[in-house]
């Protein structure tokens, strides 16, 4: 599903070079639920951004579904993001003056789906997150947990292969956080690969796989040998 080979990322300013990621090798298989943990500044958000093709990298390679994303055009990357990847952010990132329905519709529009199909998918996603009754509300009228569930609905409406979640429960109280986690597990059980950045050791434990990142280097619970390359 995801294969990173000797991937490095360097941030350069006038004075210093920071190796945000150093020779990362990582294999994530279809259907996995992996938690990514690490201290502040360790590079986990950078890694997640690279996985989501929001950021490019300096060395190594990244294969998504067996295809290298290196050198892909912007249009191809956009298509990739739109069709294969779903994002969930800590701060939800909903558009404030769009209704719940309009927010979920956004990625479907970019894919150019027909109105009837969009409607069906949105309804389905809303059903799943249990917010069907609130479809015409504005984000501001919902609680934090509900907003995050909308964001999840938006992420899964496009039926992505991978869900990238950046501290999805970071802004939520424990009850809501548990609901969101249950929702993610449910989605994972339906076959969607999930990679989640978290600070919470409990959540990390609940995930099937725990990847730690410290100073830009991986410490994986399941070691990966780059020589036995697999194709997903």
Q: How far apart are CA 112 and CA 140, in angstroms?
A: 28
- The CB-of-3 to another protein minimum distance in angstroms stands at 22
- The CB-of-226 to another protein minimum distance in angstroms stands at 26
- The CB-of-93 to another protein minimum distance in angstroms stands at 5
Nearer to another protein, 75 or 223 (CB): 75
Paired tokens of 145: 């947990």
Nearer to another protein, 115 or 214 (CB): 115
Q: How far apart are CA 68 and CA 12, in angstroms?
A: 25
Paired tokens of 89: 């952010």
- Give the binding site for another protein (CB under 8 A): 45, 49, 52, 54-55, 74-75, 78-83, 85, 87, 89-91, 93, 95-98, 106-107, 109-111, 115, 154, 158, 166
Torsion of CA 69, 75, 80, 85, to 10 degrees: 110
- The CB-of-223 to another protein minimum distance in angstroms stands at 29
Nearer to another protein, 114 or 205 (CB): 114
Residues composing the chain = 232
Q: How far apart are CA 216 and CA 156, in angstroms?
A: 29
Residue 22 · residue 8 · CB < 8 Å: yes
Nearer to another protein, 17 or 97 (CB): 97
Nearer to another protein, 62 or 179 (CB): 62
Q: Is the dihedral of CA 28, 174, 45, 210 positive or negative?
A: negative
- The CB-of-79 to another protein minimum distance in angstroms stands at 7
């Amino acid at each position: 599903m995801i294969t990173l080979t000797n991937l490095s990322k360097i941030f350069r300013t006038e004075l210093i070079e920071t190796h945000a990621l150093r020779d990362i090798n990582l294999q994530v298989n279809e259907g996995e639920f992996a938690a990514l943990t690490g201290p502040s500044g360790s590079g986990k958000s950078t890694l997640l951004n690279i996985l989501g093709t929001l950021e490019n990298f300096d060395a190594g390679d990244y294969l998504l579904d067996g295809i290298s994303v290196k050198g892909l055009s912007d249009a191809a990357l956009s298509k990739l993001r739109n069709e294969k990847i779903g994002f969930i952010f800590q701060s939800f990132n909903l558009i404030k003056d769009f209704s719940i329905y309009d927010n979920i519709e956004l990625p479907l529009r970019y894919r150019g789906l027909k109105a009837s199909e969009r409607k069906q998918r949105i309804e389905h996603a809303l059903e799943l997150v249990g917010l069907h009754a609130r479809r015409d509300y504005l984000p501001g009228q919902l609680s934090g947990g509900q907003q995050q569930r909308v964001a999840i609905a938006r992420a899964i409406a496009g039926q992505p292969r991978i869900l990238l979640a950046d501290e999805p429960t970071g802004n939520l109280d424990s009850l809501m956080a548990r609901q969101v986690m249950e929702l993610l597990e449910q989605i994972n059980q339906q076959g969607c690969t999930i990679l989640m950045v978290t600070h919470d050791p409990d959540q990390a434990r609940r995930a099937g796989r725990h990847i730690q990142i410290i100073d830009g280097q991986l410490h994986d619970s399941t070691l990966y040998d780059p020589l036995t390359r697999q194709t997903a």
